[in-house]
């Protein structure tokens, strides 16, 4: 829901770029919150990414068995699609979008993910789009769940049904930031449940979150979805965050 303050800002600055503040960006496509120049910075051309975790790797590095960032981890999803690494303009835009009063910026970033990575996202059609549910503590401090907004946007752009209530938080897990990488995976075990297991039988699922760090949460989601009979699980996130404590 839009706050009154944000509605007023939208009225006063209808075409203000949410990143650089430029007021004249009528050329921006589809009512995006960012100007064309910022969109270019937010969506750099895909470089060589790890097939498994989407981390940027050397131009000739092979990643069929993962990369230095994910090799020791059990990741249950098949692959990851993202706009880019969590740095520079994308990091700045994502942080601002996450803590914004309205979901306009997050929706714009979701639209960019759908349009700029459409080749990867349309390679294999998905049957269902499933966002990662928010932790109960996050629900208290945030205005919206970024994963829901991005998933809804991907759903409408890719014309795939978005099922926001399929995954449920099963346990009161601790927020991921406070624990080590090893603990993150243990912490997530049993944290998610599928609300209607019969629904995903034989389906190709697109799991959506705002960022992918260790991959523990998305891996747990893929684990429970595959246990319920899902055929494959691809992950779509805005950015890949490298955790250097691995
Ligand atoms: Zn701009
Ligand atoms: Zn990797």
CA of 78 to the centre of ligand 2 (A): 12
Measured in Å, residue 43 CA sits from the centre of ligand 2 at 20
Q: DSSP of 86-144, one letter per residue?
A: S-HHHHHHHHHHHT-SSSHHHHHHHHHHHHHTHHHHHHS--SEEEEPPPPHHHHHH-SS
Q: Which residues of 80-100 are buried (b: 16+ CB within 10 A; e: fewer)?
A: bbbbbbbeebbbebbeebbeb
What is the 204 CA–ligand 2 centroid distance (Å)?
Answer: 22
Give pLDDT, residue 243: 80
pLDDT tens, position by position, 203-235: 999 999 999 999 999 999 999 999 999 999 999
Token readout for 199 is 């629904």
Supply the pTM of this predicted model: 0.89
Output the CA 8–ligand 1 centroid distance in Å: 20
pLDDT given at position 212: 96
Q: What is the reported pLDDT for 135?
A: 78
Query: What per-residue confidence (pLDDT) applies to 171?
Result: 67
Provide the token pair at 213. 């760090």
Which pLDDT score, from 0 to 100, does residue 12 have?
59
* Residues flanking ion ligand 1, Cβ below 5 Å: 17, 19-20, 22, 35, 38
pLDDT in tens, the chain (246 residues): 445 665 565 555 567 899 998 876 554 555 689 999 999 999 988 889 999 999 999 989 999 899 999 998 999 999 999 999 999 999 999 999 998 888 999 999 999 999 999 999 998 899 999 999 987 777 777 789 999 999 999 999 999 999 999 999 986 666 666 678 888 888 888 889 999 999 999 999 999 999 999 999 999 999 999 999 999 999 999 999 998 654
Q: For 117-141, how does the pLDDT look when each residue is reduced to its tens digit (9 = 90+)?
A: 999 999 889 999 999 998 777 777 7
| Residue 27 alpha carbon to ligand 2 centre in Å | 37
Nearest listed ligand to the Cα of residue 24:
1
- How many CB atoms sit inside 10 A of residue 49's CB? 22
> How confident is the model at residue 180, as a pLDDT?
80
> What's the 28 CA to ligand 2 centre distance in angstroms?
34
Please tell me the distance between residue 238's alpha carbon and the centre of ligand 1 in angstroms.
18
Q: Which ligand is nearest the CA of 68, by number? A: 2
Q: What pLDDT score does 6 carry?
A: 56
The pLDDT, as a whole number, for residue 27 is 47
CB 176 within 8 Å of CB 186: no
Ligand nearest to the CA of 212: 2
Q: Please report the pLDDT score of residue 1 as a whole number.
A: 46
Q: What are the structural domains of the chain?
A: 47-240 (3.40.50.2020)
Supply the pLDDT for residue 89: 95
Using the mean position of ligand 1's atoms as its centre, give its distance from the Cα of residue 18 in Å. 7
Centre of ligand 1 to C-alpha 164, Å, is 31
> CA dihedral in degrees (202, 207, 213, 216; nearest 10)?
-40
């Amino acid at each position: 829901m839009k706050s009154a303050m944000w509605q007023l800002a939208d009225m006063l600055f209808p075409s203000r770029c949410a990143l650089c503040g430029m007021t004249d960006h009528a050329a921006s496509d589809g009512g995006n919150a960012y100007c064309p120049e910022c969109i270019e910075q937010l969506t750099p051309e895909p470089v060589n990414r790890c097939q498994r975790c989407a981390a940027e790797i050397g131009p000739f590095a092979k990643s069929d068995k993962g990369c230095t960032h994910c090799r020791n981890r059990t990741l249950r999803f098949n692959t990851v699609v993202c706009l880019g690494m969590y740095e520079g303009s994308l990091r700045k835009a994502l942080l601002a979008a996450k803590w914004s009063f309205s979901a306009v910026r997050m929706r714009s970033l979701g639209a960019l993910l759908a349009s700029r990575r459409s080749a990867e996202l349309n390679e294999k059609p998905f049957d269902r789009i499933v966002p990662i549910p928010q932790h109960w503590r996050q629900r208290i401090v945030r205005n919206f769940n970024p994963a829901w907004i991005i998933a809804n946007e991907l759903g409408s752009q890719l014309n795939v049904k978005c099922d926001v209530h399929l995954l449920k938080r099963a346990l009161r897990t601790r927020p991921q930031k406070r624990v080590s990488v090893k603990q993150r995976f243990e912490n997530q075990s049993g944290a998610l449940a599928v609300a209607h297991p019969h629904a995903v039988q034989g389906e190709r699922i697109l799991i959506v979150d705002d960022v992918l760090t260790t991959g523990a949460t998305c891996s747990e989601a893929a684990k429970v979805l595959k246990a319920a009979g899902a055929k494959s699980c691809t992950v779509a996130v805005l950015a890949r965050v490298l955790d250097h404590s691995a």
